[in-house]
Chains A and B, each alone.
Chain A
C-alpha cells in the first residue's frame, strides 16, 4: 500500500461522497419540512441517471461537446425532479394528516410503481453514456492520473449545491420560510406562511437533488434496474447517522462514509458494502440521535 493507492482511494471517496451527499441532502431536506422519509427517493436517483443518459444520447450524440453534456445532466435532473417531485407531493397530499408510518408506506408504494415504470421506459439493458467525461480530460496529482470529472467536477458541484442551498435558506424569503416550517409548522402557519406551498417547493428541490445525484453518477456507473434500491439504503444510512434534517451533518457524514467505503475498496474489499452500515451503527451506539442532532425534550 503506497501513498498513491491511498491518494487514489481518497479521491474516489470524495467523488463518491459528493454523489452520496446530493442524494442524502435531498432526502434530509424533504424530511425536515414534510416529515416523511421518502423511500421513492431511490427511484428519483435512478430516473435522474436514466433521463440524463437519454438526453445525452438524444441531443449530444456524436458531438463530444461538454456544454451539451452539462445541459443533458441539468435538464435530465431538472425534468425528473420537477415532474416526479410534484407528482409525489400530489400523491402524498391526501395522506398529510396521517401517521408518518403511513406516509412512508405510500412512498414505498410509489417506489414499487416507479421501479416498474423505469424498466418499462428504459428496459433492463445497462446504460452507459460517458463520452464527455473523457472529453474533460485527466490531470496528474503526485504521479497518479485522475479523471477531471471525478477529481474536480463532482466535488465542486456538490460543494456549490451545499453553499447555494445554505445561502438560499439563510438569506432568501422562501428559504427562511422553509426554515420556519421546519422548526414549527403551526407557528409558521400562524405567521402567514403557506406551509402547503412551502412543502411542495421543498419536495421539488429535494427531488431535484436526488435526481441530480443520479444524473452525475450516470457517466461513471452503468445504470441497471435496482440502482435506486441500493442508493436509497445508503442515503438512509447517511441521513440517520448525521441526524434527521441536518444539512451540514449530511455533508460531513457523506464524506466519512464515502472515504471509508473507498478505503475499504482498496484495502478490505470484503467490507466495501458493509462499511457504511458499520459506521452508522458505531455512531448511533455512541450518539443515539445521530451525530449532529440536539436531543429533543421528552413530552410527558
Chain B
C-alpha cells in the first residue's frame, strides 16, 4: 500500500511539475485525464466482458447538462456543474441500463451504439435548443467559489482531475477485488455458473453499467469545463470507439493502465497532427494496431511482475 501511495505521489508531482514547466502540455494533459476517466468507465464493463460502442453519449449528456445549467444559472460554481452533469448521466445510465443488461456481446455493443446515435442526432437536429452542430458555449465558471484567470483555471482543473484520477484508480481497483467485482468478472467467463451460485448477473451488470455511465458523465462534465464548449461530435460513435480503444490498450491488469493509454493516445494525436498535418488518424491507427500486436496484454502488462498468474480461459 505504501509503495502504491509513493508511486501515486511521484506521478502527481511529475505531472504537475511538467505542466508548470511546459504550459503547452497542460491542455493535452487535461484531455488525457478526462478521456482516461471516461475510458475507466468502459473498463468496468470490459471487466464483465461487454463492450459498449456508445459510451461517449454519457459524456455528451453530461456536457450538455453543464452547458444548459451554466446558461440557466450563470453564477453556478464549476463543482456544482460537475456534480449535476455526473448525476444526470448516472440517472440516464441507470434507466437505460434496466433494459440494456438483458443483452450480451455484439448486441449489447450495438444497442449502446444505436442509443448514442439517437441522442447524437437529437442534439444535432434541435438547433434552436442546442445550437446544432456548432454546439453550446460554456462560460468559465468559478471553482470552489473562486474566480480565476485562464492559466489558474486550467491549473486548478488539472489538479482536481489528477487527484480524482488517483482516487478513482484506487477505488475501482478496490472494486475489482471486492466480491461484487469478482462476480462481475465471471459474467465474462460463464454467466450460468454465476446464476447457479445465486447471484443475479443482470443486477451486477446493471450496477456496473450505472458506475460506467457515472464515470463517463464525470469525464464529460470536465470535458465541457476545460473546452468551454460542447459539440455533438463529443458523442459520435467514433469517440465511443476511441474510448474502447483506450480501455483495451490500457489492459486488464490494472486500472491505472487506462490513464497511461489515454495519455499516449492524446500525445500521439497532438504530435501526429503537428508533424503530419491532417493525417493524425493514420498515425494513431498504425500505432494502435502495433501496440495490440506487440503488447497483447495492454500497456500495463509491461509493468507486470514476472509471476505466475492464474488465467481462467473460457
Contact = CB atoms under 8 A, between A and B. Distances in A.
A171 B78 CA distance: 67
Nearest to B124: A273
Contacts of A240: 106-107, 110-111, 114
A186 interface: no
A229 B241 CA distance: 12
Contacts of B117: 233, 273-274, 277
Nearest to B249: A105
A103 to B, nearest CB: 9
Contacts of B114: 237, 240, 277, 280-281
Given A98-B296, A105-B292, A113 B281 contact: yes
Contacts of A244: 106
Nearest to A117: B282
Interface in B289-310: 289, 292-293, 296
Interface string B105-137: 011001101110110011001000000000000
Most A Cβ at <10 Å: residue of B122, B192, B292: B292
A71 B293 CA distance: 39
Contact of A233 (B102, B237, B248): B237
B289 A290 contact: no
Nearest to A111: B285
Contacts of B285: 109-113, 116
Contacts of A160: none
Nearest to B244: A105
B288 interface: yes
A285 interface: yes
Contacts of B192: 298-300
Most A Cβ at <10 Å: residue of B115, B280, B293: B293
Interface string B179-220: 000000000001111000000000000000000000000000
B292 A37 contact: no
B245 to A, nearest CB: 6
Interface in B44-77: 46, 51
Contact of B288 (A112, A281, A285): A112
A105 B102 contact: no
Given A229-B238, A277-B118, A106 B292 contact: yes
18 contacts: A102-B248, A102-B292, A105-B248, A110-B289, A112-B281, A112-B282, A113-B285, A115-B281, A116-B278, A116-B281, A117-B282, A229-B237, A229-B238, A233-B113, A240-B106, A277-B117, A280-B114, A288-B103
Interface of A: 37, 39, 91, 94-95, 98, 101-102, 104-106, 108-113, 115-117, 119-120, 229, 233, 236-237, 240, 244, 270, 273-274, 277-278, 280-281, 284-285, 288-290, 298-300
